[in-house]
């Protein structure tokens, strides 16, 4: 069974108003999905937000949801902080790499790149070769991170 991960808390496609919003992440988790979030460590505080520090949270908030979160560290400072505290979170950092290794040994895999059994296919809806969203390589990967988790759940499970 392929794991379905909501990208930034999205359910039915990109939703800039609700992305990375703590209440939206809790909603996604309550619907049975895991969630990729964007984490920032700024001025000794933790924030959710893709391009800026939008929602302040604390480490306990992350730990309480640690079984469901895939933490995208948005800066070196954020990555370094999670490494320094020996975090149990699933986290990673990347820029434009085809693959990024997560703290638990999964391959965060960009659209169009080869997939293996430990791969998380990131935004496969952006890969022209997988436009039918029912590609066999997706079914063989460990998981899919998508803006459309409900559609992928229907197609892949």
Q: What is the CATH number of the domain that holds 48?
A: 3.20.20.190
Q: Count up the domains in the chain and report the number.
A: 1
Q: What domain range is 136 assigned to?
A: 3-156
Q: What is the mean pLDDT of the chain?
A: 93
**Is the CB of residue 108 less than 8 Å from the CB of residue 99?**
yes
Q: What is the pTM of this model?
A: 0.94
Q: Could you tell me what percent of the chain has a pLDDT over 90?
A: 80
Each residue's pLDDT tens digit, 14-41: 999 999 999 999 999 999 999 999 999 9
Alpha carbons 128 and 157: distance in angstroms, whole number: 21
Each residue's pLDDT tens digit, 76-104: 999 999 999 988 999 999 988 999 999 99
Top mean-pLDDT range of 70-74, 95-99, 123-127? 70-74
* Residues β-bridged to residue 91: 71
């Amino acid at each position: 069974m392929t794991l379905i991960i909501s990208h930034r808390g999205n359910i039915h496609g990109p939703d800039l108003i609700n992305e990375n919003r703590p209440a939206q992440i809790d909603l996604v988790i309550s619907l049975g999905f895991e969630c990729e979030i964007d984490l920032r460590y700024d001025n000794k505080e933790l924030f959710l937000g893709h391009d800026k520090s939008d929602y302040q949270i604390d480490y306990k908030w992350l730990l309480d949801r640690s079984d469901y979160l895939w933490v995208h560290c948005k800066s070196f400072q954020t990555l370094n902080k999670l490494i320094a505290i020996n975090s149990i979170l699933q986290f990673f950092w990347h820029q434009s790499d085809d693959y990024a290794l997560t703290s638990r040994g999964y391959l965060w895999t960009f659209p169009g790149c080869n997939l293996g059994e430990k791969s998380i296919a990131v935004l496969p809806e952006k890969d022209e070769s997988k436009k039918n969203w029912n590609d066999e390589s997706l079914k063989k990967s460990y998981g899919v991170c998508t803006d459309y988790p409900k559609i992928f759940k229907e197609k892949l499970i």
